[in-house]
Chain A
Amino acid sequence: MSSDVRFTDFKSDVQPTWCPGCGDFGTMNGMMKALANTGNDPDNTFVVAGIGCSGKIGTYMRSYALHGVHGRALPVGTGVKLANPDLEVMVAGGDGDGYSIGAGHFVHAVRRNVDMTYVVMDNRIYGLTKGQASPTSRSDFETSTTPEGPSQPPVNPLALALASGATFIAQSFSSDSQRHTEIVQQAIEHDGFGFVNVFSPCVTFNDVDTYNYFRDAIVDLDETNHSPNDRESAKDKILEADKEYMGVIYQDDESVPYSERHGIDSNMSEIPDGAPEGAMDLVREFY
């Protein structure tokens, strides 16, 4: 890995089509900075994205990347990382991708604790389809498909992660560039599944969870006496429904990633020109 990589090296020459002011710009910039700060370069980085505004990120970044189907980015990222542990794998998605159609995969990706990073651009709305309720929309949030509001509580992704055995849970805000970059960087450096839920406001379709709302509501955990290693305290913070915390909420320092638990340490793309040595023993087993 070259040490002179700058974050702009992770930028592609495609102009984003996100709406001007979209939180995803800040979210992506922080991801690129965090990747550069952690010594990665585009040729050893693999970005996986799903569908939605967030899904476009692979196009705007320069790295190896797959823009997959809706909700399945985490299994793809898991496959990439296990097949070649030398790669830095970053999975990006939105709240719909991760907590609705992909909610099942989220739970199991957290459980596996593969050493990769999952950044969710949570705007609490379906933006690409022009403004329907998302799984993190407020219960009284009026949209074209929920004129009275969804009338059901939003998913608490942090609680879902904690209940699934997460080893790293964080939340950041796209417009606080420095803190967002730091937090994603910590997720990358975490030995296991680094999960960051990013408040990434939709300026076009969400007039409730706006920049102004988050600026007022956010409490930076760095300015409290919270210790991320304290699971009980993390649980209490996560279950406080009316608070928007920013920072690393929980981190398990004892985390042992999947590849270590399963003895996976080789780049599986490298194979011999014929059957592997010892393959004839497989035949002999059937005597």
Chain B
Amino acid sequence: MPDDLNWAIGGEAGDGIDSTGKIFAQALSRAGRHVFTSKDFASRIRGGYTAYKVRTGAEPVESVVDRLDILIALTERTIEENMDELHEGSFIIYDDERSTMRDVEIPDEMIGLPVPLKRLAEEAGGAIMRNVVALGAACEVAGFPIENLDEALEKRFGSKGQAIVENNETAARLGREYVEEEFDYDYPYELICTDEDYVLLNGDQAIGMGAIAAGCRFYAGYPITPATEVMEYLTGRIEQFGGTVVQAEDELAAINLALGGARAGARSMTATSGPGIDLMTETFGLVATSETPLVIVDVMRSGPSTGMPTKQEQGDLNMLLHGGHGEVPRFVLAPTTVAECFHKTIEAFNLAEKYQIPVYLTSDLSLAVTEQTYPPEEFDMDEVEVERGKVVDEESIADWQNENEQFQPHFPTADGVSPRAFPGTSGGAHMTTGLEHDALGRRTEDPEVRVEQVDKRDRKVDTARERENFDYREFGNPEADTLVISWGSNEGAMTEALTLLEDDGYDVRFISVPYIFPRPDLSEEIDASETTIVVECNANGPFADLIEHDTLTRVERINKYTGVRFKADELAAEVKDVLAETGEVAQ
């Protein structure tokens, strides 16, 4: 019996789709199963449609695929929207007593399960529980013991009282029993439960948790999809650790608030999406030239302008690398998975403070909305190290004062990193400015000092390259002739695509790059391969451009800019197509 199941619930926005899907995902996670979720927000046809999709396996699942096995359709549109993913034998659960669903035609090759969701919900205590009836029905089809739902229902409804929880448990059971009694199909699924304890979280939450773990105490932000959940996560939690969240009046204020927090010595962060980065770019240069450690998160969405706000895209790369007038270094990190959103956030804070530099942490919509299971050890707080760099105290401050006992915050050291004195440190009073400045942080237009300060700031990048390990993550066969490279969130889809390609006899090496600047030099890897393919979720391939620039070698490209993330099976097929075109058939 297949153990890898793709499940979805879809309907109109406001139908409780998200919370129902979350209950199912949570139940699976609590039953020791791996889960990978995704969301359809809006439509290819018209607005209003929304769906929550759950892929589950006993083994880790890291991607969405082009297949849907069980669909709870609250509207007819839900079926239309998912026709590509539905297949022969897919089960569609729907309420045939609902006036809008009465005449729904289930395609011949699929199996419709008409269940009176509303009527059964009313029997259990209220029509509002119709989605939970559907969950119960789906449990029967999926071969998933209904008791597993109870804990998730408790978590969701516990605050509303035990009666509500019990009503929901009853509703789920009525749905399950109805399917058991009314239909006589042979359901090919059995979702095996294990004793594993997994945690279930999304990329925005992982960034927020990573920030608190890293000692972030000051967060300022302005709500924007799909970054808002970082702020929502931190609100109410960061305070427990002595920190605060400030909702700014706009992104201009948000980055300046965070800059203020950082100048005061707090680990500070702001998170936004592309349109917010546009505004923050004004202050970005000040952050960089004043050598202030700051973590700026860009949860990318489709652009330009307002673009497709609820759609996936990796289109901000060049803005992060080059945004702002003048020349000044910054680091750019791109976590490749939900768990890496946690780890890279911690690393971003350490890099920011060690090199007194702004760090862009770029996630994207697909990481932000994906809830994924991990063993809790993945987020081992005992492993977290906080490295604050060259912070001086009252004793050591004299080493960094000039002959007039003035502290020199931009002293041009050999490694480019200057001493840092937190305000309040006796003998450390100093200014800094967005104007070009000297070692004291005071305005200068002296040509020699100008060159000295530019070189000093750039030198920090060389120092970081020497001291840090800006390496890639590697998968597949390191000896393969075909090399696939991607950055950011495509890793999950590509690692699963590797398995599919292997099954078909294709030998592929996959390099997933989490460091955009500074980044690993891939010259040797590209030299060693016959064909190099760069995969990214945008139209023009800015990362492929970087690789070509770095290695002076042309690469093949797979780009997707429909607004939907890569799916594993789709990506495997595209890799095959590229290899067929380039004559590299590795079979």
| CB <8 Å contact, B431 and A69 | no
Contact of B424 among A44, A62, A278 (CB under 8 A): A44
Would you call A271 an interface residue if the criterion is a C-beta within 8 Å of the partner chain's C-beta atoms?
yes
Contact of A14 among B199, B376, B434, B442 (CB under 8 A): B442
Beta-carbon contacts under 8 Å, A86-113 to B: 86-87, 104-105, 107-108
Would you call A160 an interface residue if the criterion is a C-beta within 8 Å of the partner chain's C-beta atoms?
no
Would you call A279 an interface residue if the criterion is a C-beta within 8 Å of the partner chain's C-beta atoms?
yes
Contact of B433 among A58, A105, A276 (CB under 8 A): A58
Q: How far is the CB of A95 from chain B (nearest CB, A)?
A: 19
Complex Cα gap A274–B248 (Å): 29
| CB <8 Å contact, A80 and B426 | no
In this complex, what residue of A is CB-closest to B217? A268
| CB <8 Å contact, B243 and A268 | yes
| CB <8 Å contact, A80 and B267 | no
| Given contacts A87-B423, A104-B249, A274-B381, A286 and B256 within 8 Å (CB-CB) | no
| CB <8 Å contact, B257 and A75 | yes
Complex Cα gap A266–B261 (Å): 13
| Given contacts A48-B260, A66-B432, A83 and B217 within 8 Å (CB-CB) | yes
| CB <8 Å contact, B433 and A82 | no
Number of interface residues of B (CB under 8 A): 71
Complex Cα gap A69–B290 (Å): 11
- B264 neighbours in A (Cβ, 8 Å): 46, 79-81, 83-84, 87, 268-269
Complex Cα gap A72–B258 (Å): 12
| CB <8 Å contact, B260 and A75 | yes
Beta-carbon contacts under 8 Å, B202-242 to A: 205, 209, 212-215, 217-218, 220, 237, 239-242
| CB <8 Å contact, A286 and B261 | no
| Given contacts A104-B249, A269-B266, A276 and B241 within 8 Å (CB-CB) | yes
Would you call A235 an interface residue if the criterion is a C-beta within 8 Å of the partner chain's C-beta atoms?
no
Beta-carbon contacts under 8 Å, A204-245 to B: none
- A105 neighbours in B (Cβ, 8 Å): 249, 252-253, 256
Complex Cα gap A83–B256 (Å): 13
Would you call B164 an interface residue if the criterion is a C-beta within 8 Å of the partner chain's C-beta atoms?
no
| CB <8 Å contact, B215 and A75 | no
Complex Cα gap A274–B218 (Å): 17
Contact of B382 among A48, A63, A69, A274 (CB under 8 A): A274
Q: How far is the CB of B363 from chain A (nearest CB, A)?
A: 17
**Chain B 364-395: CB-based contact to A (< 8 A → 1; otherwise 0):** 00000000000010010110111000000000
Complex Cα gap A107–B250 (Å): 12
- A287 neighbours in B (Cβ, 8 Å): 29-30, 197-200, 376
| CB <8 Å contact, A272 and B215 | yes
Q: How far is the CB of A261 from chain B (nearest CB, A)?
A: 11
Would you call A130 an interface residue if the criterion is a C-beta within 8 Å of the partner chain's C-beta atoms?
no
| CB <8 Å contact, B240 and A278 | yes
| CB <8 Å contact, B428 and A43 | yes
Q: How far is the CB of B457 from chain A (nearest CB, A)?
A: 17
Complex Cα gap A79–B266 (Å): 10
Complex Cα gap A6–B254 (Å): 36
| CB <8 Å contact, A80 and B263 | yes
- A271 neighbours in B (Cβ, 8 Å): 215, 217, 267, 386
Q: How many A-B residue pairs have CB under 8 A?
A: 217
Would you call B306 an interface residue if the criterion is a C-beta within 8 Å of the partner chain's C-beta atoms?
no
In this complex, what residue of A is CB-closest to B199? A286
Complex Cα gap A121–B256 (Å): 21
Would you call B265 an interface residue if the criterion is a C-beta within 8 Å of the partner chain's C-beta atoms?
yes
| CB <8 Å contact, A66 and B244 | no
In this complex, what residue of B is CB-closest to A273? B386
Specify which of B244, B257, B429 lies most central, judged by the most chain A CB atoms within 10 Å of its CB.
B429
Q: How far is the CB of B177 from chain A (nearest CB, A)?
A: 29
Would you call B427 an interface residue if the criterion is a C-beta within 8 Å of the partner chain's C-beta atoms?
yes
Would you call B430 an interface residue if the criterion is a C-beta within 8 Å of the partner chain's C-beta atoms?
yes
Complex Cα gap A163–B257 (Å): 23
| CB <8 Å contact, B261 and A83 | yes
**Chain A 189-200: CB-based contact to B (< 8 A → 1; otherwise 0):** 000000000000
| Given contacts A84-B266, A86-B424, A268-B217, A279 and B384 within 8 Å (CB-CB) | yes
- A66 neighbours in B (Cβ, 8 Å): 259-260, 263, 290, 431-433
Complex Cα gap A80–B275 (Å): 26
In this complex, what residue of B is CB-closest to A67? B433
Would you call B318 an interface residue if the criterion is a C-beta within 8 Å of the partner chain's C-beta atoms?
no
- B215 neighbours in A (Cβ, 8 Å): 271-272, 275-276
- A80 neighbours in B (Cβ, 8 Å): 260-261, 263-264, 423
Q: How far is the CB of B222 from chain A (nearest CB, A)?
A: 11
**Chain A 247-287: CB-based contact to B (< 8 A → 1; otherwise 0):** 00000000000000011101111011111101110111011
| Given contacts A43-B424, A86-B424, A278 and B429 within 8 Å (CB-CB) | no
Complex Cα gap A62–B405 (Å): 12
Beta-carbon contacts under 8 Å, B429-443 to A: 429-435, 442-443
Q: How far is the CB of A6 from chain B (nearest CB, A)?
A: 15
| CB <8 Å contact, A67 and B385 | no
Would you call B282 an interface residue if the criterion is a C-beta within 8 Å of the partner chain's C-beta atoms?
yes
Complex Cα gap A116–B547 (Å): 49
**Chain B 562-573: CB-based contact to A (< 8 A → 1; otherwise 0):** 000000000000
| Given contacts A43-B427, A67-B431, A13 and B404 within 8 Å (CB-CB) | yes
In this complex, what residue of B is CB-closest to A9? B429
Contact of A69 among B198, B199, B243, B434 (CB under 8 A): B434
Would you call B5 an interface residue if the criterion is a C-beta within 8 Å of the partner chain's C-beta atoms?
no
| CB <8 Å contact, A84 and B382 | no
| CB <8 Å contact, B218 and A82 | yes
Would you call B6 an interface residue if the criterion is a C-beta within 8 Å of the partner chain's C-beta atoms?
no
| Given contacts A43-B429, A72-B283, A269-B422, A79 and B259 within 8 Å (CB-CB) | yes
Complex Cα gap A245–B444 (Å): 40
Q: How far is the CB of B255 from chain A (nearest CB, A)?
A: 8
Beta-carbon contacts under 8 Å, A10-39 to B: 13-14
Other than the known A269-B266, A275-B382, what 19 A-B pairs have Cβ atoms closer than 8 Å?
A44-B424, A64-B429, A66-B259, A66-B290, A72-B253, A75-B256, A78-B260, A80-B264, A82-B260, A86-B424, A105-B249, A107-B249, A262-B244, A264-B244, A269-B264, A274-B382, A275-B213, A279-B241, A287-B376
Q: List 18 A-B contacts (CB under 8 A).
A: A13-B404, A43-B428, A59-B431, A59-B443, A64-B423, A64-B429, A76-B256, A79-B258, A83-B261, A104-B253, A267-B424, A268-B264, A268-B267, A271-B217, A273-B386, A274-B385, A275-B382, A279-B212
Interfacial residues, chain B to chain A (CB-CB below 8 A): 29-30, 197-201, 205, 209, 212-215, 217-218, 220, 237, 239-244, 246, 248-250, 252-254, 256-268, 282-283, 286, 290, 376, 379, 381-382, 384-386, 404, 422-435, 442-443
